[in-house]
A and B are shown apart, each in its own frame.
Chain A
């Protein structure tokens, strides 16, 4: 009867089944964010990745924003258009607190399993021995 007709349909469903969860997830995402870019994993992702790192405020941006200047007259370097920045220009009030002074890692603390093992007295010496001055790096590498 319909047996010979059923088989091709079955195969087709099986193929789609493997991809179905991913496609279903994609549909869910597009439903939530209809404006999601057409190019998946394209430039936007990568640009964001390249700029990983806390962007502190740029006093130039900040002052210009304060003066409500338009940016049109500035030379637009190619990359700027793709820069993924926040919605607003950070102000000094927005800045997170600077990191507190550095302490010894908890991994080097008392070891639960091996019992009481005091921190090596050498550790105090170590911080002194690391006095190899490194100036904050000013990026001279090629842009």
Chain B
């Protein structure tokens, strides 16, 4: 797969589609909270703050329109989670979908896990394109016939009908998390999965809803001694007994379930040493890892903290092998970012299918890509201004200080309300899905 951007043989990214309302007045329920391609890339799921899931399906490639790949159109939409109320604690449980993870396809139906703060659900999405006709006792509209009028018998047959896509909840995994679920991850055995909240990680079997095993518990006996929380977790893509979890202190722990039932003791601890003289009030906050993702190969993992993306080699614990600055110019704005709470924004990151490029979001509806081979990076913007299909996106540049060149944007003009927290990369193609607050953008590489 080609590189991130720039000239030469690198990719040129083009606008393809945008989904969602145009108006600036964004209803809270429409805020997109997660984006995920399925394993083939044919389906793209989004979850929002209103607890709804929308699934888009890529159209079959049109031979006449050879200049673009299939478009993504709505395939199914359903209400995954509803707002609930915890009477014991007088707390509302948000219906916001925190994560969606697809299961690999085993039969005609598609399955995904979606979770809010407290409950994980397994949804089955199936197609129905035929229906039985010719019942003996019922009319076509369902009314029962008068049995005395039945004089012959016939065998009902299946006849084609308009495609109907049905979503039904198959399993509800509830009541296992006291704190807020931040991640779910399906094991490579396709039978079990992890769910993590701030202090605990549980292992589930997809078939069993009334039980889960607690495999990590970092809750201190005395809550006043609490120093860090779990921020994300993921199973290794190939090794079914290995998983990692990241913390608010910028560390990643790799655990092996074969070592013991309770994985409180890590097998590996990934931490970049910090020069104590560089420490400031903000150090710990900006080192908190908001996302961790294994590479497809399983050899590397990527972490996202507030200002950077780091690539770690699983064989080396003492420092990352690559570090990419996402928006270093924000370091001199930390005070105001703390005051407006932006410093706590949780950005996600993703790999492309060949693990050669990584992508993450930023502010002002900018998103960044880093090519690990060429070491080049690019900043692009998700905006309705570039609305025409096959319009090549123009790279953006932020001017940190001093004289602002033409076409550059100064740090002070950045809109911190326009954040891109969720992005996803098609597992095989150069197609990316980028979520702004309430819109979903789809970009593709230029195909000639």
Contacts and interface: CB of A to CB of B under 8 A. Distances in A.
A82 B223 contact: yes
Given A82-B223, A107-B19, A129 B73 contact: no
Given A25-B333, A102-B29, A107-B48, A49 B280 contact: no
B274 to A, nearest CB: 11
A138 B86 CA distance: 6
A107 B440 contact: yes
A142 B76 contact: no
Interface string A99-117: 1001111111101111001
A122 B167 CA distance: 9
A40 B282 contact: yes
Contacts of B21: 106, 109
B281 A46 contact: no
Contacts of A82: 223-224
A96 to B, nearest CB: 10
A43 interface: yes
Given A49-B229, A134-B172, A30 B281 contact: yes
A141 B281 contact: no
B86 A134 contact: no
Nearest to B440: A107
Contact of B169 (A41, A47, A132): A132
A40 B224 contact: no
24 contacts: A19-B277, A19-B278, A21-B334, A22-B283, A23-B280, A30-B281, A53-B91, A103-B29, A105-B29, A106-B20, A112-B22, A114-B17, A117-B74, A120-B75, A122-B165, A126-B77, A134-B82, A134-B172, A137-B119, A138-B86, A138-B88, A139-B89, A140-B175, A141-B177
Given A111-B73, A120-B163, 12 more contacts: A19-B277, A24-B332, A29-B334, A41-B284, A58-B90, A82-B223, A107-B32, A111-B74, A132-B172, A141-B177, A141-B178, A143-B178
Interface of A: 18-19, 21-26, 28-30, 32, 36, 40-43, 45-47, 49-50, 52-58, 78-79, 81-82, 99, 102-109, 111-114, 117, 119-123, 125-127, 129-130, 132, 134, 136-143
